[in-house]
Amino acid sequence: MNAAAPNALARALRGFFADHLPRVRGSSPHTVLSYRDSLVLFLRFVAARRARSVSQLDLDDLGPAEVLDFLQHLETDRHNLVATRNVRLAALHAFFRYCATEDPAHVEHCQRVLAVPFKRTRARPIEYFDYAEIEAVLASVDRTTPDGRRDYALLATMFNTGARVQEIVTLCVGDLQLATLPQVRLYGKGRKERLCPLWPQTAELLRALLAERGRDVPPDQPFFRNHRGGRLTRFGVRYLLAKYCARAKVARPTLGGKRLHPHSMRHSTAVHLLRAGVDITTISHWLGHASVTTTNRYASVDLDMKRKAIEQARPTDFASGAALWRTDASILEWLEGL
């Protein structure tokens, strides 16, 4: 018995993920996975609401009403923030924009979905580690163990570079130059590359960590590894930072009153550089911002800078194929296998 021919939705999913995102748009693996997760959540939601299997859904089943119900479900049932809601909607918009260009018969339908607006969100105050809190977090790491030495170097590198957590976990051995003029090559949003200087103390930590792995480590190997030798994950980094923040609260109770996460370390780098008198344009390049406008928000977050003259900052004194679409599994497993 022949497999059922793929319908418009199945064809669109395959073209979007297998060709359009990686080959036409040059999207990063992180973007592809983020879009995939959004589409999987949406398809499962609609299938459950219609009491169908995912394989029975077609493009016409995914209209603006379903999108709006899905977005409400994210906020009400999954307790997602508005920012997460908008990220999911951006993925759906990208998919339906592709569908409209690939099949003119669906243009009007796709345009109705694309008319679903993003939800306005109130900007939260930027949370960051002050200098004493950074020192307390680093001091809480037990550096007598291999994991502790890795974690100390990881946190120090995050503070030095202001790297996004995804940039840190994808860092390879060959991305670092640790001899003269130490620097690291980071791969940011949209596959944009940038070089970031390393403080001598940070470079020494990274050299020591690399030396523990012996000589001639292949350049494509992950620099920060988990227990299995693979890359640390974004969630792993979040867990480690939360663990050390909890320890450091004893010495720095102010940590308990903040909503801190890996991106807070990036904010801290920006504020630290600003306090050091580094100009906004340089900070923008340092952080890999697409626009200086994004960086300008840091100029208003530090109350200390409004009350007193800028102090000369210094780095923390670190110590040395063909798809079958007959079943739910065939569609969802293909997406999850990307």
Respond yes or no: is residue 52 known to be catalytic. no
Please count the CA atoms within 13 angstroms of the CA of 123 that sit on its side-chain side.
Answer: 5
C-alpha 211/C-alpha 132 separation (Å) is 30
Q: Which of 85, 109, 252, 266 is catalytic?
A: 266
Q: Which of 14, 85, 106, 164 is catalytic?
A: 164
- Tokens standing for residue 106: 């669906």
- Is 244 assigned a catalytic role? no
Is 266 catalytic? The answer is: yes
Half-sphere exposure of 270 (CA within 13 A, CB side): 28
Q: Is 298 a catalytic residue?
A: yes
Which of 30, 97, 189, 247 is catalytic? The answer is 189
- 185, HSE (Cβ side, Cα atoms, 13 Å): 11
Contact predicate 221/173, CB 8 Å: yes
The runs of H, that is alpha helices, within 52-145 are 64-76, 82-102, 107-114, 131-139
Residue 60 structure tokens: 């016409």
The three-state secondary structure class of 118 is coil
* Pair of tokens at residue 238: 């979040």
Q: What is the distance between the alpha carbons of residues 18 and 15, in angstroms, rounded to a whole number?
A: 5
Question: Residue length, the chain?
Answer: 338
Q: What is the dihedral of CA 223, 238, 265, 154, to 10 degrees?
A: -20
Query: What is the spatial distance between Cα 166 and Cα 293, in angstroms, rounded to a whole number?
Result: 22
Please identify which of the residues 263, 275, 285, 326 carries the catalytic annotation.
263
Active site residues: 164, 189, 263, 266, 289, 298
